[in-house]
Structure 1
Amino acid sequence: MKMKRYFAPDSRQALRALRDEQGPEAVILSNRRVKGGVEIIAAMDYENSMVDSSTNNTSARPEKNQKSRQQQSYASQNNPVKRMDTSVTQEVNNNFFKDADITNNHYGENQLNHESDALNKIQGELAGLRSIMEAPLMHFSWRETGRVQPLYASLLKQLLTLGLSSALSKSIAKRIEKQGLNNNSWSESLNYLADLVPVDNEDILSSGGTVSLIGPTGVGKTTTIAKLAARFALKHGRRCVTLITTDNYRIGAHEQLRSYGRILGIPVHVASDSDELRSLLLEVKGQSNKRHLTLIDTAGVSQKDISLTEQMTSLDVDGLDIKNYLVLSATGQMNQQDDVIRAFSSLHLDGCVISKIDEAASLGETISVLIQHNLPISFVCDGQKVPDNLHQARGNLLVKEAIKLMKNLKKSLSDEELAYAFGGVTSNAKI
């Protein structure tokens, strides 16, 4: 069995590369998120390898192979995909070492490692078998949907092409189908999508308050703070704005915010811990007797970084109403954005800012993950200009921008991609 790795910015591009090079005979053994994109491991000559493996295993353990074949036969009669995967894998896990009659006194650690590798190989082959059976079923299901429900399939294809998740696309299509599919179904689905987009109705640029911007490195937190500060200062005056940074992780981390502060004529304060932050916030609160906006810039850390916990601790100031806005880059993939939201949600999120819309190839994935988590959008940023490229979030405007990006990209999903999206399968799939 020959294996090869494929790397691409997203799963769709990786699938295209795999299909173009290896054709329909390739089998995806695994896929995973890696830094910078997606990695897919695929195999060629999979069927031949499995036949050889079955022959060898039959010679060594005829009784066990007979038992395994009986289990696979039973599973295929009931559910050719799920039952085979669960029953056979469970039997292998429970009885593998018992059937091999292994004892620690007779075999050493190397032998146990060898058996563990063999178990992993068997589980991989079972996953491959499942993928072989799933692929035709998914293709058949998608073709039948297109034949029996052409209007539904056409609408679903448009929603998937927009970049929306499979679950969200199906939900919208089914909702519109219940109302009756017609020539206006696409427009109706977009209006429904716009209504689903969670939007923060509180305008801090009018009401003021204390807001901290949190998120991973490089998503544009500091630039967004400068835009908010400039917009508020133009409306209420520079003395009504306070800038605070808690970023003590990077060398020269304060300089960018200080530069913006000098340009805007707004002082910048540094808080190294929660006590200093509390003192600064109480000082600002005591001095301001009217509408005031305090913006807190935080360190950019990975959602998987241990320092995230430390940052959250520094922002945990009891008795003071701090609104936490997550800054989310529109250029990120859905899985990555989902990880970010889950990680930072332990620090209560009041809303989010979508940055770098001007750099995004699609907005469907971002819209999908925000709807999934019901995280309200407060602002969107579509450039580096301060304060011009900052806009109040509106569901219909975000959907219009998503359509614009889809048309500019001029992409069309292949039948294979549509079949896998329709089936909701992203791994262990045969191309």
Structure 2
Amino acid sequence: MSVRRFVGANSRDVMRQVREVLGDDALIVANRRTEGGVEILAMADDAVDQFDPSPATTAPVEPPRQEAAPATAFALPKQPDPLEAMSERLLREMQDMRELLSRRQPTSDAQRGTQTTYEQLQQLLARVGFSAELSSEILEALPDALMSLEGNSDAAMTWLREQLMARLKVLQHEASFFDQTGIVALVGPTGVGKTTTTAKLAARFVMRHGTRPVALVTTDSFRIGAHEQLRIYARLLDTPMYALDIEQPIDELVGRLQGKQWVIIDTVGMSQRDQRVIEQIAHLQGGQSTVRLVLLLNAASQPETLEEVVLRYRQAARAAGAELDDCIITKQDEAGRLAPVLDIVMRHGMRVLFGSYGQQVPEDMAVATPQALIDQALSASASSSERSAPAPVSLPRWSRDVLGQGRRLSSVLTRLRQRIADFYRLEAAWDIAALPSIVQDQRLDELLTGADATHDAMGMVWSPRRNERGCDWSMPDVALNDQGAWLALTRLQHRQPAGWQPRLARCSADIAVHLLPALPEPDAVAWLTDQHLTWVSAVPASQRVHCQGERHTLRSLFQDSTLSHSVSVRFRGQGVRLSTAYVEAQDTSGNEVLAWVGDVLDPETSKRVVRRYWLTPARLGSDVLTLLVTQLQSDGLAALTKRAWQQLKEADGGNVSSELRLLMASGAAAVAGHLDTAEDETAQALRSDLLRLLGTQRKRRDTALLDALVHVLMARDAIRQLGSVSREGVI
């Protein structure tokens, strides 16, 4: 076939290949973009000349023998016409090519069923109003398992909803807004609904706290009837209303509001292009009192307008040394599509407090929930002729790329906090590392004291009581949550008492499971038994037990045993099989135990990687197998901690104390190990996003996750540092 397929990273690369193979006069039949770059179908211009019109050579016919009968006369085959043969050949090629293109590029409704999941979800997002920028960012994480499904399948739509909801920040608890005393100022363009929203919020405050501590304030002296409208609401709510002149300092207002704990300011509506926006916000932030700013966004506005509103008002807030991260979406009932405003909120990392959808006070306002907002956005319909406009180019390309990376970092951190109960404590350790070294030890003591008092642990993986090979530190102990997953804040060994029994007794009463690196002294085992605690102890092959009246080492006891029970586990970053067996026995003190053996096997070759032995209380039976798996998987945490320790040591330049660095490194290792071993869909999505931030492919998943997590925490620290420097006016 003379039609050739060429693939390259870009158009220039593909055309170079075409010219080299087919010459400068090659005929380009079709081209399209693929995930790997650009694909072109081309054929040589002289394909007709390459056709050989000469008849095919036939094998010579042996002449008949003389005594044989004369051969029956037959007609020679008709020689095909060269042009006719060429035409048939080209026709076949064009038919093949048409079939190829029809498979790759469906264009009609009948062919739409052949679209990939990626394409169908991309079209859905564009149709309801999400930008191409956010859509591409989301769909880059589409799991391979969903690629072969229909784009409108339940699994694909569930995944899409979860991705969108994860990116939408909302007010987690209504009480956290209405119970926080202070001044709230609603800002935004003219006609966005500030006065009505002020009344709705005031009504909610009054319902929770009564009328006496609540006051309304207006700065709108420009709009006719603005004072009177708010005064009517104030009279209905039985709360006082005050007018603040645009020139009056905010502190003067505070002096007039003695006894008022919740104050809501209805500000002057100004176009985002009005230079007085900066003056207005600077005026609100100019006093001693802290004013919470909330931006109102009209869901019925055009995407370009909303984008500009967010940019200009946030720039004005930063110029005044304030933060503008919260918003309220208004006029949802007037908006044909909700996706454009949610798209802008997600891309700028803002938090949605409430949604407003009517004029009734206070009924037509509700706390924002991701599920309700995303479902409303995805259910919007658009006419077939409507085209989704691209996101306005209001920022340089490099700025949008940085913002996109920042959004991905924020999304990953948010989901890590949601998944790992004490992840915020690991972040607190990283915050301490950014402080001057003279105060690090004091802050670390405060962090660890608070963690001891209010921890989330249900179990403990105890590490060997020795220094790691080649290191001057010992691996910290790692706490487990109620699901048996590692927590982020580890326990430093040198801060614990000597001896197993004092060490175990010091643990909180909530620590019900102890995974021990070696069999402790008989008094510690007796204490664990008396306390009715669950324990598992790793032991060497030379450990002796009594079985059926005879004394054996575990090596000899299991020498001829068949290991039947098998489970899949993660071990040192690789997927393996763990085959186990156990027998009833007594330890050297006469306690009834189960003696276990486990072989870690390569799943492809069935070759043994390592063999391990354990002792467990006989009363627990075989249900402790999951704990054996947890302890086995914990074996890789020390190596991950070493890796993180070295990365941090190279990065901090010796300005971080050794025990703080160890706490940071082991915590990052525990989180990376947690994500490596978890197999639920949420963990898989988080893993995928975390590895994508790393930008490179690694063979071992656990080390790749660790490197990505360290990258995320370092980036978070750098952003925080940059933010504090900016506020100080240094840059």
Note whether the superposition's TM-score is higher than 0.5: yes
Q: Percent identity?
A: 31
CA contact (8 A) 2:213 2:259 kept: no
SS in 2 for 1:207: coil
CA contact (8 A) 1:274 1:313 kept: no
1:249: Cα distance to partner?
2.4
Match of 2:201 among 222, 228, 234: 228
Equivalent in the alignment of 1:187? 158
SS in 2 for 1:411: coil
1:359: Cα distance to partner?
0.6
Alignment of 1:97-176 (within 5 A): 150-176=116-142
1:262: Cα distance to partner?
1.4
Alignment of 1:246-261 (within 5 A): 246-261=219-234
1:331 aligns with 2:300: yes
Computing the radius of gyration from Cα coordinates, the structure with the larger value is 2
Equivalent in the alignment of 1:244? 217
CA contact (8 A) 1:244 1:271 kept: yes
1:411 aligns with 2:383: yes
1:362 aligns with 2:328: no
Alpha-carbon distance in structure 2 between the residues aligned to 1:307 and 1:173: 40
1:180: Cα distance to partner?
3.2
CA contact (8 A) 1:274 1:317 kept: no
Q: Normalized against structure 1, the TM-score is what?
A: 0.60
1:78: Cα distance to partner?
7.7
1:174: Cα distance to partner?
2.2
Amino acid at match of 2:160: S
1:314 aligns with 2:306: no
1:383 aligns with 2:355: no
SS in 2 for 1:235: helix
1:412: Cα distance to partner?
3.9
| Structure 2 portions without partners, runs of 5+ | 1-10, 16-30, 40-100, 318-322, 394-731
1:397: Cα distance to partner?
1.3
CA contact (8 A) 1:357 1:381 kept: yes
CA contact (8 A) 1:246 1:297 kept: yes
CA contact (8 A) 2:219 2:244 kept: yes
Amino acid at match of 1:411: S
CA contact (8 A) 2:304 2:392 kept: no
Equivalent in the alignment of 1:343? 312
CA contact (8 A) 1:161 1:413 kept: no
Amino acid at match of 2:312: A
Amino acid at match of 2:359: Q
1:242: Cα distance to partner?
0.7
Match of 1:295 among 232, 244, 264: 264
Q: Normalized against structure 2, the TM-score is what?
A: 0.36
1:232: Cα distance to partner?
1.2
Alpha-carbon distance in structure 2 between the residues aligned to 1:191 and 1:151: 16
Alpha-carbon distance in structure 1 between the residues aligned to 2:356 and 2:208: 19
| Structure 1 portions without partners, runs of 5+ | 1-75, 81-135, 427-431
Aligned length: 285
Alpha-carbon distance in structure 2 between the residues aligned to 1:215 and 1:410: 28
CA contact (8 A) 1:323 1:350 kept: no
Alpha-carbon distance in structure 1 between the residues aligned to 2:159 and 2:121: 11
CA contact (8 A) 1:353 1:377 kept: yes
Amino acid at match of 1:150: T
Alpha-carbon distance in structure 1 between the residues aligned to 2:124 and 2:12: 36
Amino acid at match of 2:376: E
CA contact (8 A) 2:181 2:262 kept: yes
Equivalent in the alignment of 1:218? 191
Amino acid at match of 1:387: P
**Pair 188,245 (structure 1): closer, same or farther in 2 beyond 3 Å:** same
Alpha-carbon distance in structure 2 between the residues aligned to 1:204 and 1:77: 56
Match of 2:376 among 401, 404, 409: 401
**Pair 388,260 (structure 1): closer, same or farther in 2 beyond 3 Å:** same
SS in 2 for 1:239: coil
Q: For residues 55-101 of structure 1, what are the alpha-carbon distances to aligned partners after superposition, in whole Å with 9 as ceiling and x for unaligned?
A: xxxxxxxxxxxxxxxxxxxxx96899xxxxxxxxxxxxxxxxxxxxx
SS in 1 for 2:212: helix
SS in 1 for 2:140: helix
**Stretch deviating more after TM superposition (357-366 or 301-310):** 301-310
**Pair 206,277 (structure 1): closer, same or farther in 2 beyond 3 Å:** same
**Pair 252,79 (structure 1): closer, same or farther in 2 beyond 3 Å:** farther
Alpha-carbon distance in structure 1 between the residues aligned to 2:364 and 2:119: 38
Alpha-carbon distance in structure 2 between the residues aligned to 1:274 and 1:329: 28
Alpha-carbon distance in structure 2 between the residues aligned to 1:225 and 1:386: 10
**Pair 303,410 (structure 1): closer, same or farther in 2 beyond 3 Å:** closer
1:376: Cα distance to partner?
0.7
1:211: Cα distance to partner?
0.4
Equivalent in the alignment of 1:264? 237
**Pair 425,343 (structure 1): closer, same or farther in 2 beyond 3 Å:** closer
**Pair 154,411 (structure 1): closer, same or farther in 2 beyond 3 Å:** same
**Pair 196,257 (structure 1): closer, same or farther in 2 beyond 3 Å:** same
1:265: Cα distance to partner?
1.3
Amino acid at match of 1:198: K
Structure with more helix by fraction: 1
CA contact (8 A) 1:210 1:294 kept: yes
1:274: Cα distance to partner?
5.8
Match of 1:392 among 367, 378, 383: 367
CA contact (8 A) 2:295 2:326 kept: yes
CA RMSD of aligned residues (A): 3.2
Alpha-carbon distance in structure 2 between the residues aligned to 1:351 and 1:179: 36
Alpha-carbon distance in structure 1 between the residues aligned to 2:286 and 2:144: 49
Alpha-carbon distance in structure 2 between the residues aligned to 1:215 and 1:359: 18
Alpha-carbon distance in structure 2 between the residues aligned to 1:311 and 1:138: 49
Match of 2:254 among 281, 296, 317: 281
**Pair 259,305 (structure 1): closer, same or farther in 2 beyond 3 Å:** same
CA contact (8 A) 2:307 2:392 kept: no
Alpha-carbon distance in structure 2 between the residues aligned to 1:335 and 1:425: 6
Alignment of 1:30-109 (within 5 A): none
